[in-house]
Amino acid sequence: MATQYNPDDTPVRCSKCSRHVSELQPFEEPEFKGVKLVKTFRVLVPYNELSEAILRDVKYAEPKTAIPYSDTAYKGLWRASNFIELEQKYGRALLHQAYVYDLMADSIVTYHECRDCFAKSSKQFSK
């Protein structure tokens, strides 16, 4: 998602490829015409179908009745009333992957991207 074109605080390099603005080709799309860097906001991780499926299966419980995940990596933050069933269905490694995905999918990062990196990122982060 791009919201600003060459804002006043625009750095002189692309956040992704680190090319200097003097080396960049401008965008050709009508909404970005002539712009060399676009400020974008993206989640930290691209969409992951399997992690999303696992998260849809999670049944969250009240803290008093939840079975906290005992592994120190989880620190008891992910409380699912059906944790044992999820572990049997998906295995510990995939549950860990879904847990990390869930945390990172809520974090948004700002980038200044050139047209090449913007196109690559847009494909990677689209569903």
Q: Render pLDDT for 20-57 as a digit per residue (tens, 0 to 9).
A: 988 999 998 888 888 888 888 888 888 899 999 988 88
pTM above 0.75, yes or no: no
pLDDT of the residue at 19: 93
Predicted confidence band at 76 (pLDDT cuts at 50, 70, 90)? very low
pLDDT of the residue at 123: 66
- Mean pLDDT to the nearest integer, 65-82: 53
Which DSSP helix (H) or strand (E) runs through 113? Answer: strand 108-113
- Mean pLDDT to the nearest integer, 102-108: 84
Please tell me which residue, 13 or 9, carries the higher pLDDT value: 13
One DSSP character per residue, 11-30 reads: -SB-TTT--BGGGPPPP-SG
> Among 8-22, 42-56, 63-77, which stretch is predicted with the lowest mean pLDDT?
63-77
Paired with 68 in beta bridges are 79
